[in-house]
Structure formats: structure tokens, C-alpha cells
Structure 1
């Protein structure tokens, strides 16, 4: 397996500007001075990704109360994200990275093992970016189910 460059706590978070579900550009710099959870997921409207997005939605008030924003990023096009946002009543931005440039820069795209086979794809990952734009927490190969509860425990939220 070729190694995908992974981010570690203390690293500078790679900058990005990507379209949201409505095609409006959203940048990491929009969150300067605030903490933001950036999570990467393989595909909107799939069972695991739906569970994870709904978990973030259902915990958003507590996360926001703790000073944490949430942004999800996948290779889906904005039109697919818009349907996902509407169907699941998601209340945080989902961003489109069809070229996978941002996914790759964050170490969230590359070789992974799936059902015993090595495949290339999105590595489900979650990061906490601090107020200065540095990685505070970097988690790779997270599980879709139960991840938000674990993240809340890890962050004492």
C-alpha cells in the first residue's frame, strides 16, 4: 500500500475553497478565529454516510455550544449534496470536491483496505482545526456509526 500523506496535530490545515450544496464557495479561512470540525466522507446518500451526517446534525447544537462548527466534504457534485441536505434536513455545510484535490491534501484520499481488498478511495476522516488554522485532532479510518459520540467524548463536549 502506498502511503498517503497524513496530517498530524500541530500541522497547518491545508487551505481550501469549495462549493457548497448551493454552489456558493466556502473557504477554510471563513472559519478563522473559530474551531471547526472538518470531516471527509465517501458519498452522500449512502447508508454509512447518511448515519454519520445525521449524527453530526443531531449533535450540532451541543457542538456549536462548545464553540465547534462542522463542515463535511465529499467528492459528490453540488446537485447531489443539495438532495442529500434536503432529504436529511442537514443544517451544516457540505462541500463538493469532485477533483479530490482537497481530499488528497488532507490525506483523506488514497489506498485503503475494504472487505479485504486494497482499493483507492475516500478515507473516512475527521479533523478539528483550531482558531489559528492548525490541526488539533486528526482521525483517519473512522467508523461512520458511533463516530460523533466518540468525538464528543474525545473533545469532552
Structure 2
């Protein structure tokens, strides 16, 4: 799958969310949006990453950033995850991988020494006009939000 780069238009999407609603990227225009893609709710690495975003949400929002998490989990599973971890930003469900593929976050990766196809842990920052500002692929779950804050000069 092709990956997004700075300067690319961010592919629009509308996905169901954990709270029973939907999130549409174009509805968030006017704000910077951090879209992060993760493999599975309620797994150790994904929980670490989600909680890091949760713990940084106030400072990210005060700097003009919105956060959206996307995984192939069902909305019901995402609702359980959001409740268990007190996540207050949108968690979006992409079980058909259409958005994951369009954003370059689905494809071959190495897992425990084997090549598999699945979610590539990725983060894309979209500017207020819908243009990719920053795209990071194969990110680490632990410490990623702190690195992202440094990269965005928010640290």
C-alpha cells in the first residue's frame, strides 16, 4: 500500500465510533487532527499508546489538535476499550480496512519474526485544511506520543 507523505491530501473518511456515532475527517477541518492507527483494542501495546494519547489530550487540545484512533475492531469492542481505559477521544472502527489501506496503515509487517498482513502502527497529522502535515509509520507504542509532541514542537 502506498503511504501518505507531508503535502498529500488526507483521504476523507466517515467511520462508526465507540460511542455509537460516526467521525468524519472533513467535519474536523479547521483543527489539526492526529489520526493514529493501531492493531487491536485491549492489547498491551495498543492500551499503552491509547492511554498516552488520553494523558496528553488536554495539552494537545489546547495546542489546537484533535485525536482520532482507528482500528479494525468493532464499535462494541471499541466501546469496551474506551470505558475500561477512560478514553474520551473518538475511537473509529474500520473492519473492512478501507481507511487503513487508503492511509497506508495496512500491509505486510514482521511480527515475531514472521511476515504477516495487518495494521501497521502509524500516526498521521492532518493540518486544518486537510493536508498531511506529518506521517509516521511503524511507530513504537511506548513513547510514541512524547516523540510526536517533540516532532510537532509541542514538548
Q: Structure 2 length normalisation: TM-score?
A: 0.98
Q: How many pairs are equivalent?
A: 154
1:86 aligns with 2:83: yes
* 1:23 aligned onto 2:30: no
Pairwise CA distance, 1:25 = 1.5
Q: 1:123 aligns with which of 120, 145, 150?
A: 120
- 1:23: how far off? 2.4
2:53 is matched with which residue? 56
- Supply the distance in 1 between the matched residues of 2:11 and 2:98 (Cα, whole angstroms): 10
Paired residue secondary structure (1:45): coil
- TM-score, normalised on structure 1? 0.96
CA distance in 2, matches of 1:109, 1:23: 24
Structure 2 distance, partners of 1:115, 1:76, is 22
CA distance in 1 between partners of 2:150 and 2:93 (Å)? 28
Q: What secondary structure is seen at the aligned counterpart in 1 of 2:139?
A: coil
What 5-or-longer segments of structure 1 have no aligned partner? none
Aligned match of 1:75: 72
Return structure 1 stretches of 4+ with deviation > 3 angstroms: none
Distance 1:90 1:110 in 2: 27
Measured in 2, the distance between the counterparts of 1:117 and 1:10 equals 33
1:108 aligns with 105
Structure 2: segments with no counterpart, 5+ residues: none
CA distance in 1 between partners of 2:153 and 2:97 (Å): 32
Alpha-carbon distance in 2 for matches of 1:59, 1:26: 21
Quote the residue 2:150 is aligned against.
153
- Out of 55, 62, 66, the residue aligned to residue 65 of structure 1 is 62
CA distance in 2, matches of 1:155, 1:25: 27
